[in-house]
Each structure stands twice: as C-alpha cells, then as structure tokens.
Chain A
Amino acid sequence: MYVYDQYDQNIVDDRVKQFRDQTRRYLAGELGEAEFRPLRLQNGLYIQRFAPMLRIAVPYGLMSSTQVRMLAKIARDYDKGYAHISTRQNVQFNWPDLENVPQILAELATVQMHAIQTSGNCIRNTTTDQFAGVAKDEVVDPRPWCEIIRQWSTFHPEFSHLPRKFKIAVNGAVSDRAAIEVHDIGLEAVKNAAGELGFRVSVGGGLGRTPVVGSFINEFLPWQHLITYLDAILRVYNRYGRRDNKYKARIKILVKALTPEVFSERVNAEWAHLKDGPSTLTEAEIQRVAAHFTDPAYRELNDFSGELAELDAQHPGFARWRQRNTFAHKKPGYVAVTLSLKPTGVAPGDVTDKQLDVIADLADRYSFKEVRNSHNQNIILADVEQSRLFELWGELRDNGFATPNIGLLTDIICCPGGDFCSLANAKSLPIAEAIQRRFDDLDYLFDIGNLDLNISGCMNACGHHHVGHIGILGVDKKGQEFYQVSLGGSAGRDASLAQILGPSFAQEDMADVIEKIINVYVEQRNEEESFLDTYRRIGVDLFKERVYAANN
C-alpha cells in the first residue's frame, strides 16, 4: 500500500498542529461556533445526538495492520471500546470528547492516518472496489489512481468550500463493486483498442434526498489528463453549482439543470485551458505511486480445490462459509476472505477494540499485514492462502467474524439511525436486527441468495436505501417512526434506483413485510434467478398486492 514520504508526512503533521490550534481557539471562545463548524467538519468531526462523531479517513479502504492496531487503541483510550466501518470505507468513532480530538489526530498521524476531508463541503475520501488488485475480473488496478486523486484533492485550495460535499469513486473491474454511478464523479478505468489506459467519466450521480444515477460525459479520457479534467469539472461545479438551497446544491442538480450534454461542453471549454498544462500526469509519477501497489510476495501455488472440496464435505459449516465469504483471487492458490461484521444483534459495521486487534493479528499471519474495508461495512483479508483457509475459518469463528452471510439478506447496510443520529426520522438498527432474527434459517437465506438490503433512518440516505434491492427508509408519520419500503435498486453496473412500494409500515410490521416480499420472489423466480432479476422481470405489482393485501 502507499507509504508516506517526508512530503506526505509533513502535510499531515501540519494539519495536526493546525487543528490543535483551531480547537484551542474554539474552546477559548476566540473562534465562534459558526466559524468552527466547517473547520471541524472538514476534519470529520460531527456533533451528533450524544457526543461528537469522528470519522477517520481510510483512503480507498486500505489499511495496514499497524493502522488497525492504532484504531483499536483509539477505540479503547478515547471511545467506548468500539469503532464503526462506514459505507464509504472509512472508520467512525461515536464517543470521543472534542478536547481529545487533537490528540487522537496526533496519534493517527504517527501511523500515516488522518481525518482530512471526511466531511464538509469538499472532496471526500475516494473510494473503490474492496477487491482492488486481487479480483480476477480486474482490468486496471484502481488503487494508484485513487492515491493520485487523494493527493490532488487533499487541501485543494480552490475547492475547499464547494456548494456541497463531493464524492469520487473509481472502478477498474468488469463488475462495479464501487458503485461509481451513484457518485458525484465515477471513474471507470478502461483500455482502448490500442491498449492505452483511460477513464470513462460519469458525473452527477448521488443518493441523498434526490437520488440520481450519473451520466457518462466522457467515454475515454486518456490517463495523462485525469487531474486537469477533474480540475475542470470541479471548477465548473464550484462556480455554477447552486448555493441558495443546500438540498439543491449537489453537482447532480447542476448536471440535470444544464443537461449532461451542456454540462460536458462547459467542462470541455474549461478543460481546453488546462489540458497539457503542468498538472498533466507523468509516467514517472504513475510509476512512483504504482510501485506501492505491486503484488505482495505471493508464493507460486496451485489451487487447493480438491482438498477444499473434501473439507467442505466433512464440514458443512465451512462449505457454507466458503461459498459466501470468500472471493476468487487472481493468483492460483490464494483467495480473498470477507470478515462479516453483520452477526445478528450487532449494529452492522461495528467492531470492538479487541476485534480490531484480532483483525490486525490475522492480517499479519494470513494476509501480508493488510486489510480492506468494504462499502458494505465488512472487512477483507485479500490475500489468504487457500491451504490455510480452514485454519483461518476456525479463528474467525472464535472471534465472531464467520457469519456466512456475505451478499445475503442479513448482510445489511444500515446507517446509525435514531439511536445515534440527530437527523433521523426513525431508528434503523432495530429494524436490521428484527429482519436478521426473522431470517435466521441459514438454508433459507442461502436459497434466497444474493440480496442487498439497505436501511437509512432518513432521506439523507447514509444507508444507501435507494440502491438496495430492497431499500428501507425511516419516515415520520404524525410523530411516529414509520418505514417506507422500495424495491429494485442496484449500485452495480447499470445502477438503478429503487421504486417505492407504497404507504409506509410500522416498526413491528417490518419483518413481516420483508418476509412477504421474499415469499413473492421465491414463488415467482425462475431457476437461479436472483431477487433483482426477478423484480426486473415481473415488476412491482405482485409485491404490492401481497404486502398490502387485507388481513394477510
């Protein structure tokens, strides 16, 4: 992974000093609340229902075991012993004291971590495929490009007070596991017929109140021009994005208002001034950064298929876990393993300090000292030898990471909701738990197969409910917590937004409602047909009928 040199370290160290002084001035009353607010936000510090929440940046989800241990220490020393993996591959602490934040940042800086631009109206952490660099279907490794974007966006002086937050995601594989089409900018690394590398560029995607799937405005941007082109998009947005209404301030609204065609003309007009200028990327820089993302010291191995099949036969639990929680690796003899942070009864994405220490230790022993966070709020060991999979499974079970549910109905994406968040209309965590309890039969869960169920406690959509195959949104109904259900969303390639089923439901009915929806699917599906495909084939009507049928 990327390792800081003196330049990178100086910038982060300077930031620690700067924020320490800003916090001091705030606490001394020299800096007003209104002035401090954007400063703390650009450092990931929210004031929420009970305490500040501090969001730590995990650039494109990648962490070393040393960094994971530091997070464990911070959870122990400054929080209530746990941390939370966010839907943008970051890590959040829910209970730090404001007074301690400068010290937390100082400790993070010792392991090349920070909280820069994890919130606020600026360019946020760039996200990507959690299987970057190891996926079999990868065309281009997105990580060097993410790092190049990270550096460009860090303290960009011109774009630090944008109309609204700005999120960039990069995908380099055939499948889109980075949800690029629901980002402000989505970049897909591709090769043209001549084998040259470039990017397909989508703009104006996003969730929140007005969910929009992005529009591709450039089918092939040669890699040299990535930064100048991003500068051009951001300049157009910074100048012309709406600032009069924060609900209409995201770039998606500007792109819609202008139309993608006109927006792209504006970008091209701006870009014409920048193209081939000093920010044009160089081969040397790409190589410098890419050198940090070369393959680890893989051994020359063969696939372990026969042995694994035998283990499967002897241990059905192992077989099940292997089926869901492992992911094919580009190197023979290796496999990527997802640690499920979604056991029933634990808030999705929560990990304790002890678990974080265990994860660091497992990374050291099984996976070249690195882990990744996924936007589905799980943690991945990307480079595990297949011959050690059975042994690893045992350790994961001992530590609560082996729930065999990756990609299944109970692998729920869920925001903190009303239990923690002051903006919530409704709680979200108890809904997740009720659904997990209802679907506790593993055979049935496996039979249902791939299903993204996403829950947000309000229309800000932190839980990505618009792109869940099943989406649940907390709403306020005459002062009571109710839930709106929608179907058919997808964050993958050919992303789609879910369609609302109808009137909302009370909390106690939610597990029933989901069960009815699943029943319709099971009755209607063709062989091997996924929930999403079935929904796309049969439409919403049958689901509606069942869910709203009287006395049903």
Chain B
Amino acid sequence: MQRIIKNGQLIDETWHLLPKDAAFDSLPNCDDIIVPLGLWVDHGPALKARDGGLGVWLDAGDEIEEIADQLDNFQVIALNFPAFTDGRHSSTAYLLRQRYGYKGEVRAIGDVLRDQLFAMQRCGFDAFALREDQDAESALLAFSEFSEVYQASSDQTLPLFRRRG
C-alpha cells in the first residue's frame, strides 16, 4: 500500500486518485475517491450523493476560483505538480487556506519531491503523495530544515518583522 505524508507523519493511503479520463459510470459507491476537476464539473450532484469520501484534484492550469464556492463538498483537495518546478499550485494552496478558509486536506500530488516540502507546507499543503522514487522516511527531515522564516504564508501568518523579539 502506498504511504503518504500527512501532517508530518507517514500514513497509509486510503484514497483512490482517479485519472483525468475517469468515466463516471465505473465509480464505486463506497470508496474514498479523489476525482479530476472535469468529473466534478460534469457530475457534481451525483458525486455528492455517493456514500464514500470525496476529494477533487486540480491540474496545474486549473484555477481554484472555479470551485471556490463549492469547497465544502471536498474532504481532500489535491493539487497536481506536473513538474516540481511548476510553482502555480503553491499559490493555489495559499489561496485555499488564506482566502477561502478551506480546512480540509490540501494534498500535493505529481512530481512531489523532498526538497520542495518545506516551502510547500508553508503555503498550506498538509499532505504529500511523494513521487514514487522518493525515500519517504528521510523526506520527513525536510520539514525542520529551517528554524525561522521571514515572510507570512499559511503556516505563519505573521511576517518575522511583527515577531522579532
């Protein structure tokens, strides 16, 4: 079973991430699933009526504004990094937490690597499905790489200049 990082711990994965071309007809009723944005847009009411948990995932070019008023429907919002150098969803995570007050899981998926974790958790991600080749145990060390930060983000909403002793 794949393991993911959640709140700084390794846990077993219980969600099924559906591919972008997943068809609505074949969905199981009880599993916890993370559906692509398109499926949600087309079948939102039916997806809500299922018994299993529901999450949605956005590709790098998808804009969070599209579902900003529907966030209550999702226990998980997963944001895809096609390449770890594509930083668009760092802004999305920030917006989810700070602008839209989303309290559920914000999960990084795709090209998620150890050396980006510190910055990602700052922006608002609390879950990480690491790329398969990553050593998850040692990746946990990334969260404590810096003991102090200058600017405000989701993890620390006060900039250092308001906290300097």
Binding site for B on A (CB under 8 A): 5, 7, 10-11, 14-15, 17-18, 22, 30-31, 35, 38-39, 121, 148, 151-152, 154-162, 227, 235, 238-239, 243, 273, 277-279, 281-282, 285, 288
Contact = CB atoms under 8 A, between A and B. Distances in A.
Nearest to B155: A157
What 6 pairs across the A-B complex have the smallest Cβ distances? A161-B87, A157-B122, A157-B119, A285-B161, A151-B150, A158-B90
Nearest to A238: B91
Interface in B97-153: 99, 113, 115-116, 118-120, 122-123, 135, 145-153
B157 interface: yes
A160 B119 contact: yes
A61 B94 CA distance: 33
B24 interface: no
A117 to B, nearest CB: 12
Nearest to A234: B91
26 contacts: A11-B146, A14-B145, A18-B145, A18-B146, A31-B115, A38-B84, A151-B150, A151-B151, A151-B160, A152-B150, A154-B150, A157-B149, A158-B94, A158-B153, A235-B94, A238-B90, A238-B91, A243-B86, A273-B99, A277-B152, A278-B157, A278-B158, A279-B151, A279-B159, A281-B161, A288-B161
A155 B149 contact: yes
B148 A159 contact: no
B91 A160 contact: no
**Binding site secondary structure of chain B:** loop
Nearest to A151: B150
A141 B118 CA distance: 35
A150 B145 CA distance: 20
A184 to B, nearest CB: 16
Find the residue from A38, A159, A239 having the highest chain B CB count within 10 A: A239
A382 to B, nearest CB: 27
A239 B90 CA distance: 9
Contacts of A5: 164
A157 B120 contact: yes
A39 B115 contact: yes
Given A11-B146, A35-B113, A279-B151, A159 B87 contact: yes
B90 A155 contact: no
Chain B interface extent, by class: 35 or more
Nearest to B145: A18
A161 B148 contact: no
B88 interface: yes
B85 interface: yes
Nearest to A150: B150
Find the residue from A121, A235, A243 having the highest chain B CB count within 10 A: A243
Contacts of A273: 99
Contacts of B159: 152, 227, 278-279
Given A121-B85, A155-B119, A161-B84, A278 B162 contact: yes
A277 B99 CA distance: 12
A157 B99 contact: no
Contacts of A157: 90, 118-120, 122-123, 149, 151, 153
Contacts of B92: 239
A159 B151 CA distance: 11
A152 B151 contact: yes
B164 A7 contact: yes
Interface in B27-61: none
Given A22-B115, A151-B160, A279-B159, A156 B151 contact: yes
Nearest to B147: A10
Nearest to A273: B99
B153 to A, nearest CB: 5
Contact of B123 (A31, A148, A158, A227): A158
Interface in B65-93: 84-88, 90-92
A162 B150 CA distance: 19
B160 A7 contact: yes
Given A35-B115, A273-B99, A162 B162 contact: no
Find the residue from B120, B135, B148, B161 having the highest chain A CB count within 10 A: B161
Contacts of A148: 161
B157 A238 contact: no
Find the residue from A15, A121, A238, A277 having the highest chain B CB count within 10 A: A238
Nearest to B88: A239
Given A239-B63, A239-B88, A243-B88, 15 more contacts: A10-B147, A10-B148, A15-B146, A17-B145, A22-B115, A152-B150, A155-B119, A156-B151, A157-B153, A158-B90, A158-B122, A158-B123, A159-B87, A161-B116, A239-B92
Contacts of A14: 145-148
Contacts of B153: 157-158
A238 B88 contact: yes
A11 B150 contact: yes
Contacts of A158: 87, 90-91, 94, 119, 122-123, 153
A243 B86 CA distance: 8
B88 A35 contact: no
A161 B120 CA distance: 11
A546 to B, nearest CB: 48
